[in-house]
Structure 1
């Protein structure tokens, strides 16, 4: 017989299947199958890679009988001539399909245990038997995914497509993550045939995906991602999913990455016990599972600076002096940096980069309120000592990268790198205004934390909310303003019950996050003495906002009205006799402006007197005649 002409693998695979089906037809009608067997051998020898049926038999360690049984069942679906022959052999025209009894009587080297549930054909759901007619007489069907594989089509099972997503090869990676993937591969190759599980813990989920993809690339396999929340809860469904995946892992040559978030570890543990092959589990906190564990955190500030320069290419060299602010302000992973740089292209400036970094960050709207920072230093009326401290806060925030990393302070200790600051003083003395000035000066976004949304009556929930606040704020590069902070950060109580114990844990968690927070966190309180002493030790700056004296109040009155406000002649010295802080002065000025607008006149002393009494009524603190003498 002439050797087959050279052809592509797909066409050769189809021809080999045709030859195999012809061999089975010959067996069914008691003809000589030797010619077709020889034809198959010649086709196989000429192929550039083994045919699908041979690869399948090797991957699942099938016997010759099991291999032929697969071909017989597939042939009924793919070769119209095989079905009638099976019906004839079954002795029933209405049963044109393969049965186990037919295979036992027809195929060489037959063995009864081929269809035992623990053996490959049924264990990996390559074949399924309709047992309603008995194991020997029931119709044997082939799973559609396996049928496609034999035909040369190797794609993810459609039942898994809603659950699994392929991970692309990694792009820009930080050096620490590349080192993790190299170490993990060394561990996997050293272990050989042992069960292989890699555990990745840390706060960079995209970085964990890149590490998983890089491990797969180094090992020459694909990798799919499954969210732990999508793992079914019941044992039966878990077993079915595990079987489907393990079959796919073999057919596709793929690893599995499971992404774990929050309280999904119990479901995960049961599911993982059913899995084999290369498994990578990514979580925020370390989990108690057997495997080789690695930490995958977002890159530190110097590494972020390097990633920005690499991602921006030539433009990165041009912007190099300004990239410190990007690296120091936002806590971004390598993939995020690469995405922003690619999206903006070559025509970009530093302001566009800042906007892009903020635009992609997670929302804090549920737990915090964004404050539009418009105030500047001229709006602050404070003693010179307090102004100097505020200016130092701005200096520390602006030069964090230089001092902490370039000059090595971060290497000596990771504690105390955050700029935790306390503003204390009576209400209305300018604490929030000072935070606005700092945000405006530094070009940062400012968020006021809604403590009523953060503090939860449910045990452990407050800690989760605090983590969300800090994590989101680090990505935004935000200044955090915890208003009236003593409500959450007051003196820790003695432990009397489980709620006291968890409340203390939450305060301890807050202290730890305040120390490690890379940005500026400002706490405001009216009562400095109410704060926990352990918390106070972790503050880098403490700024007292005193009640304004007569001179300061006069300056506040001079600056309270916008330039466009029509004013009658005002006696600022007499206005300063009113002993109220700056916040109250702003409220009185605003109230007077509305009174004047209603009357169609400029703002005058009479409007201010009336507004002052209205404001005093809100505070249930009447104004003395001496304070407003001579106003009208």
Structure 2
């Protein structure tokens, strides 16, 4: 028998050598032996256990032993079958230890105490091969996505040259991953010197962090393609986060790392927010397993998240390098537009991609969505010969801007309705608004490629002081700046901020905690445009009383945080007087802290008529006597008052029946009179407070 076995081994070795010499794919058991550096005994263990599972001949041999047929094979049975002497049996017990490559990777499944639950002898433990491994070795593959929800193994097609990111970051990332193979070869050649020092932890784990749509998934695909490997994509939240169907077990998690190793794949965990959140909440068995596997794994692992600040020390220790993905600047956006436009889309020849990149602050993912939206519009006009016009692309961009701004949810969030192109203001004022937007849009270029991020330069916030009477358009200007810069709006009045500070001061146990810091910290996390309304409460009424001192202290904290804020911060002042009349009363610290001072005049008659027409919904039924030109001439309202008048007038009309159920001139005039009286009372009160 031993002679036959020796002869068969020689024949198999010769066939493997011939297959390797011919450059053909090796048998999978041989691939596994090479990859895990298995010994001959470990290969025999796998062969025996797989044969006992799928071979009728071996099954028949073992079925003659009643004990084996009913209880399955134990480690002792395997040792006695493969090792003729007791000395060899003892020498090969290590193949079943928890630290052995087969058990560590869950290829062998060892179950304590086959005969008795209290048994402690290793030889009494049941042993078998993971069913997924049996299928893989025998060539009966099952896609990993069918076994673990939220996972997918595939060969990516994205070229790394198409990834748009700073050249330095791109070079560092490539250098890190392409040197990994050299690290592994060097470690093998110096194994004896490194024994006990580098026995594990020779893999590379990269953290890709940044907002959604900035290219993290695309980069993972491109890196795998560059390395000539498959990508095993795992949506962590879906598979492990307790979301829809998220119930992956510890063994399946270990199996993912084994799957990546067997297929020589890059392992990419996407949506890792659930991982970091659970670490902060005390962790779980699955997360502990993940940390252990990250340390054992010798391959490349990528983690993607938009919450890198949630990393704890245990996770941070396992990260080889972290790469931040920021929203693209204008130059990067233009490159993304050009890349997407070069894939055969039918674009009109007069499309200005430079203008689109400058105008709309979209990430790469949103630019792709904008192109799809534009293509749908073109197909709606002509399915056979669609042609994307610039108007289609503009509408697609506007859809993405509105969607991105609406989806962000945080405290004190305000709804943004449109950009600067929709403002009804004098041309000079609109030009100033566009200048403010351009300064903020240039931030990424200035602080990135042009080096204004160094310690020699302060944070340089885009700080704005908006001055004007009620109805002059301060709210719409703030919304337009937020819209054009692609940021959500975080809004609070100065009085609310002051009240929040008092409330927090009463309950806070930390001396350094205040409402202003919390407000700006939230705005940083949301990358929001900050608006503080009604600042005159501190400017016009400073005094020696406690309230005046409190407001003055609040202003100092506000200006301090504003100077450190890396974005747009808008302060609004409501007044009926010209700025030149009371400019000398403004605190000098306020003047030094703002970069732009913009005074908004009340709308002229022509602008008021445009506001009436713009704010009146087309679906409102109008009586024949409605004369908006007359209303605009008679009543000097701003946009807010006009909107309120239209709503209340339409409400009166909606409650009527029949032919009378339409907006009439009498409705408008009646409500306008009521609004005018209310406005005059408010103005009188403000003047009285200012001069008395």
Q: Structure 2 length normalisation: TM-score?
A: 0.63
Taking the aligned partners of 2:251 and 2:345, their CA distance within structure 1 comes to: 52
Please say which of residues 558-567 and 119-128 is displaced more in the overlay. Answer: 558-567
Contact 2:107–2:130 (8 Å) recurs in 1: yes
1:446-492 Cα deviation digits (max 9, x unpaired): 9765659x999899975575357547xxxxxxxx694737599999x
State how 1:514-529 maps to structure 2 within 5 Å: 514-515=567-568, 524-526=572-574
**Per-residue deviation, 1:239:** 6.2
RMSD: 5.5
Per the TM alignment, residue 70 of structure 1 is displaced from its structure 2 partner at its CA by 1.2
For residues 559-601 of structure 1, the C-alpha deviation after alignment (integer angstroms, 9 at most, x for no partner) is 858897625899989956xx87674466557767877997969
8 A Cα contact 1:197 1:291, kept in partner: yes
Residue 406 of structure 2 is aligned to residue 364 of structure 1: yes
> SS in structure 1 opposite 2:429?
helix
Please give the secondary structure, in 2, of the residue aligned with 1:162. Answer: coil
Cα offset, 1:423, TM superposition: 2.5
Q: In the alignment, what sits opposite 1:272?
A: 291
Count of residues in correspondence between the two structures: 557
> Quick check: 1:128 aligned with 2:96?
no
Residues 196 and 588 of structure 1, relative CA distance in 2, 3 Å threshold = closer
Return the alpha-carbon distance in structure 1 between the equivalents of residues 663 and 369 of structure 2. Answer: 54
Residue of structure 1 aligned with 2:304, choices 272, 275, 282: 282
Q: Quick one: which of 167, 174, 178 aligns to 2:164?
A: 174
Compute the displacement of 1:327 (Å): 1.2
1:296 match = 325
Structure 2, unaligned runs of 5 or more: 188-201, 243-247, 376-385, 548-552, 617-621, 686-692
Partner of 1:81: 57
User: 1:40 aligned to 2:93?
Assistant: no
Instruction: Note closer, same or farther for the CA distance 1:433–1:557 as it changes in structure 2 (3 Å cut).
Output: same
Q: Distance in 2 between matches of 1:534 and 1:69?
A: 79
Matched with 1:327 is 357
Residues 378-457 of structure 1 aligned to structure 2 (within 5 Å): 380=425, 388-394=428-434, 397=437, 411=450, 413=452, 420-432=463-475, 451=492
Offset at residue 522 of structure 1 (A): 5.8
Given the superposition, is the C-alpha separation of residues 206 and 532 from structure 1 closer, same or farther in structure 2, using an over 3 Å criterion? Answer: farther
1:258 matched residue in structure 2? 269
- In structure 2, the residue matched to 1:243 is 254
Over 3 Å counting, the alpha-carbon distance change for 1:564 and 1:541 in structure 2 is farther
Structure 1 residues 507 and 159: alpha-carbon distance in aligned structure 2, compared to 1, 3 A threshold: farther
CA distance in structure 2 between the partners assigned to 1:132 and 1:304 by the alignment? 63
For residues 98 and 399 of structure 1, the distance between their equivalents in structure 2, rounded to whole angstroms, comes to: 73
Partner of 1:11: none
> Offset at 1:546?
5.2
Whether the aligned pair in 2 keeps the contact of 1:424 and 1:526 (CA below 8 Å) is yes
Alpha carbons of 1:568 and 1:213: their partners in 2 closer, same or farther (altered >3 Å)?
closer
Compared CA separation, residues 269 and 200, structure 1 to 2 (3 A): farther
Instruction: Give the drift of 1:318.
Output: 6.5
Q: Which one is further off, 59-68 or 594-603?
A: 594-603
Q: Secondary structure at the match of 1:140?
A: strand
Larger radius of gyration: 1
Q: Could you tell me how far apart the structure 2 residues matched to 1:82 and 1:395 are?
A: 82
Alignment of 1:478-517 (within 5 A): 482=531, 484=533, 486=535, 508=561, 512-515=565-568
Mark the CA change 1:596 to 1:63 in structure 2 (over 3 Å): closer, same or farther.
closer
Q: Measured at CA, do residues 618 and 443 of structure 1 come closer, stay the same or move farther in structure 2, by a change above 3 Å?
A: closer
Distance in 1 of aligned mates of 2:631 and 2:126? 99
Pairwise CA distance, 1:97: 4.3
SS at match of 2:669: helix
State the TM-score, normalizing by the size of structure 1: 0.68
Separation in structure 2 between the aligned mates of residue 606 and residue 49 of structure 1, nearest angstrom: 84
What are structure 1's unaligned runs of at least 5 residues? 1-25, 381-385, 472-479, 495-499, 516-520, 625-632
Deviations 1:317-348 (A, max 9, x none): 97587212221233444455456557756721
